[in-house]
């Protein structure tokens, strides 16, 4: 596997924000994955899961921002997936998976933007990502 150089082409800030996330996808068989975000941005999320989801696979997302409001429900598309290195032989392989939001409501985008902007102002942005 080669080094991923995608960070140099990114334009939206991402922040480390511990959201709970439900991913529903149906590549071979319908499956629901419960995970948390690695980071989140106005255009998408990075999650860590123990399986690969094919590139460009459509998914349904449900995001709990843990802010006492309703969950964000929207569609998404897997735009990248990178296998992590094995740290121990007994641990399974994990994947960092980037999912781009689609069909997200304007009010949910505004809610995400407010959270992200507040954290960026506090200096908590993790990097700049294109999602």
Tell me which CATH code domain 12-129 carries: 2.40.10.220
Greater pLDDT, 112 or 9: 112
* pLDDT of 103: 93
CA 47, chain centre distance (Å): 4
* pLDDT of 91: 52
CB contact at 8 A, 64 and 71: yes
31-57 pLDDT, tens digit each: 889 988 888 888 999 998 888 899 999
Tally the C-alpha atoms within 13 A of residue 47's C-alpha that lie toward its C-beta: 27
Confidence of residue 130 (pLDDT cuts 50, 70, 90): very low
Secondary-structure breakdown of the chain: helix, strand, coil percentages, each rounded to the nearest 5: 15, 45, 40
Confidence of residue 12 (pLDDT cuts 50, 70, 90): low
Nearest to 7 by CA among 95, 126, 90: 126
* pLDDT of 120: 82
* pLDDT of 87: 63
50-105 pLDDT, tens digit each: 888 999 999 999 999 888 889 999 999 999 998 877 665 545 678 889 999 999 99
Q: Where in the chain are the domains?
A: 12-129
CA 70, chain centre distance (Å): 18
| Residues, the chain | 131
pTM across the whole model: 0.79
DSSP annotation of 3 reads P
Q: What is the dihedral of CA 37, 94, 60, 63, to 10 degrees?
A: -20
Place of tokens 């902007």: 117
* pLDDT of 58: 95
The yes-or-no verdict on residue 2 having pLDDT over 50 is no
* pLDDT of 122: 77
């Amino acid at each position: 596997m080669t080094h991923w150089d995608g960070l140099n082409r990114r334009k939206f800030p991402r922040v480390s924000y511990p959201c709970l996330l439900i991913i529903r996808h149906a590549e071979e068989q319908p499956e629901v994955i419960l995970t948390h975000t690695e980071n989140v941005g106005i255009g998408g999320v990075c999650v860590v899961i123990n399986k690969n989801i094919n590139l460009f696979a459509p998914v349904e997302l449900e995001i709990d921002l843990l802010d006492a409001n309703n969950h964000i429900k929207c569609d998404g598309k897997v735009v990248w997936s990178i296998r992590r290195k094995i740290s121990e032989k007994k641990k399974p392989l994990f994947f960092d998976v980037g999912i781009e939001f689609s069909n997200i409501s304007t009010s949910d985008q505004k809610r995400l933007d407010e959270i992200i902007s507040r954290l960026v102002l506090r200096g908590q942005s993790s990097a700049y990502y294109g999602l």
